[in-house]
């Protein structure tokens, strides 16, 4: 059992190690990226490409609904979505996220009147 768990967790650990060493500053590096890492719902997701695998992994937990907000805001629900109390992995729907940003700005402006 321990050997199977180690074998199954090795690819995840390797992909995280490869991804952590990369930055999103050059287009070549962006093409080589395995996924787009997001740690905060307020983050600028313009670095992520539409349809790219997105990993929402907040640095702290506490509210079990928090990862579900991420699904609501920027996941393509026509594709597979994996979520736990600790995060979400899904395909990024850039148009959905942009609509959310626009509505948020509009609501803030109306609230300030």
Say whether both 26 and 40 belong to one domain: no
Could you tell me the residue range of the domain that residue 25 belongs to?
Answer: 1-34
Task: Identify which has the larger pLDDT, 110 or 4.
Answer: 110
Over residues 50-92, the pLDDT tens digits come to 999 999 998 887 788 888 988 999 999 999 999 988 899 999 9
Of the candidates 101, 12, 102, 99, the residue with the CA atom closest to the CA atom of residue 57? 12
pLDDT of residue 4: 43
Say whether both 41 and 29 belong to one domain: no
Residue 41 pLDDT greater than 80, yes or no: yes
Say whether both 42 and 55 belong to one domain: yes
Say whether both 83 and 101 belong to one domain: yes
pTM above 0.85, yes or no: no
Instruction: Report how far residue 72's alpha carbon sits from residue 42's, in angstroms, rounded to the nearest whole number.
Output: 13
Using alpha carbons, list the distances in angstroms from residue 12 to 7, 25, 35, 56, 94: 10, 24, 12, 15, 25
Q: How many domains does the chain have?
A: 2
Asked whether the beta carbons of 52 and 93 are under 8 A apart, the reply is no
Say whether both 77 and 108 belong to one domain: yes
């Amino acid at each position: 059992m321990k050997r199977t768990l180690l074998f199954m967790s090795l690819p995840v650990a390797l992909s995280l190690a490869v991804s952590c060493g990369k930055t999103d500053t050059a287009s070549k590096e962006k093409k080589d990226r395995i996924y787009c890492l997001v740690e905060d719902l307020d983050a600028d997701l313009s670095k992520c490409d539409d349809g790219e695998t997105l990993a929402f992994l907040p640095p702290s937990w506490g509210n079990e609904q928090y990862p579900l907000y991420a699904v609501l805001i920027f996941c393509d629900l026509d594709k597979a979505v994996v979520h736990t109390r600790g995060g979400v992995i899904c395909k990024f729907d850039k148009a959905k996220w942009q609509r959310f940003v626009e509505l948020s700005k509009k609501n803030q402006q109306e609230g300030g009147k």
